[in-house]
Amino acid sequence: MIAFIKGTIAAYGPDWLVIEQNGIGWKVFYPHTEAIHLNETVQIFTYMHITENDVSLFGFESQEEHDFFLRLISVKGLGPKTAINMLSHTTSSRLITSIEQGDVNLLKSMPGIGAKTASQIILDLKGKLIHTNDAKESYCLEINDACEALKNLGYKQGEIIQAAKVMSESNSLSTEEYLKIGLQFLMKKKVGR
């Protein structure tokens, strides 16, 4: 299997790009073509989809996005083209939050996703996405520890993601101080309902 391709952007379209590597042009379906430029050197993480009639490569800007894509296509009735379209319309962090919060309406707003598929995504993936949250990876150790403490206190993943964003607005605090900020945010949110 091809884990990643490193090369130069030779061409691109609305949902694909061609990466030139050692004289070979790899056509890859890619969700973020608005952010690339011709002749730019890139490293794209890949997933190869093989069917009876076709072999396709799908590309991702990070390993976390790749892993989230694999989770999406594990859902019954959700193919790789639909999953890549979802990632081209919003971030994986936003999709993870909507799945964890059971937000059927946001999922239904994605191309090719109806009410039945949206419900199936939530049913299959809710509570299983903590390790594929690409936003979590960019936080410092203290915030990650505070998030783990919130999880142990019974907060849902969607709430933890929101609290982590609020915590990240403060710099160089201890785990306990970040946890306090997270708890205050979540208590205010509960009172505001």
Q: Helix, strand, coil % (nearest 5) of the chain?
A: 50, 20, 30
Beta-carbon neighbour count of residue 69 at 10 Å? 23
| 99/92 Cα distance (integer angstroms) | 10
| 154/151 Cα distance (integer angstroms) | 5
Find the mean pLDDT for residues 101-124: 91
Q: Is the pTM of this model over 0.95?
A: no
What percentage of the chain reaches a pLDDT higher than 90?
A: 49
Residue 20: its pLDDT value, please?
Answer: 96
Task: Decide: helix, strand or coil at residue 158.
Answer: helix
Q: Which residue has the higher pLDDT, 134 or 128?
A: 128
DSSP for 32-81 reads -GGG--TT-EEEEEEEEEE-SS-EEEEEESSHHHHHHHHHHHTSTT--HH
Q: Which residue has the higher pLDDT, 4 or 148?
A: 4
**Rg of the chain, C-alpha, whole Å:** 19
Residue 159: its pLDDT value, please?
Answer: 80
Q: At residue 133, does pLDDT exceed 60?
A: no
Residue 40: its pLDDT value, please?
Answer: 92
Q: At residue 139, does pLDDT exceed 80?
A: no
Token digits of residue 71: 């989770």
Amino acid at 152: N
| 110/151 Cα distance (integer angstroms) | 29
What percentage of the chain reaches a pLDDT higher than 70?
A: 93
Q: At residue 158, does pLDDT exceed 80?
A: no
Question: Rounded to 5 degrees, what angle do the CA atoms 75, 34, 139 make?
Answer: 65
Beta-carbon neighbour count of residue 38 at 10 Å? 10
